[in-house]
């Protein structure tokens, strides 16, 4: 059964760092269902808030944030 995990993409670190970091848990052989969510200044410009409701709700689920 895969573990659902929230992967928060912010303004920093960059996407290349996030991609590399994600490889570590993926290399364990444990199955993950990654919920990718955005936060930060770029998100503010797009949706009007730096922390959208769907990101907050995903983060608040127990044992889900990386």
Q: Work out how many domains the chain is built from and give that number.
A: 1
How does residue 10 score in pLDDT terms, banded at 50, 70 and 90?
Answer: confident
- Quick: pLDDT tens for 25-49: 989 999 999 999 989 998 999 999 9
Let me know if residue 65 belongs to a domain: no
More confident residue, 18 or 45: 45
Domain assignment of residue 17, given as a range: 3-60
Beta strand spans in 1-66 (E): 3-9, 32-38
More confident residue, 63 or 34: 34
Sequence-distant (≥ 6) Cβ neighbours of residue 38 within 8 angstroms: 8, 9, 10, 46, 52, 55
3-class DSSP state for residue 37?
strand
Let me know if residue 45 belongs to a domain: yes
Let me know if residue 7 belongs to a domain: yes
Q: What is the mean pLDDT of residues 17-21?
A: 84
């Amino acid at each position: 059964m895969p573990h659902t995990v929230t992967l928060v993409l912010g303004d920093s670190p960059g996407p290349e760092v996030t991609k590399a970091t994600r490889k570590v848990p993926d290399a364990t052989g444990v199955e993950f269902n990654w919920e990718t969510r955005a936060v930060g200044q770029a998100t503010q410009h797009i949706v009007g808030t730096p922390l959208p409701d769907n990101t907050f709700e995903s983060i608040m689920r127990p044992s889900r944030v990386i």
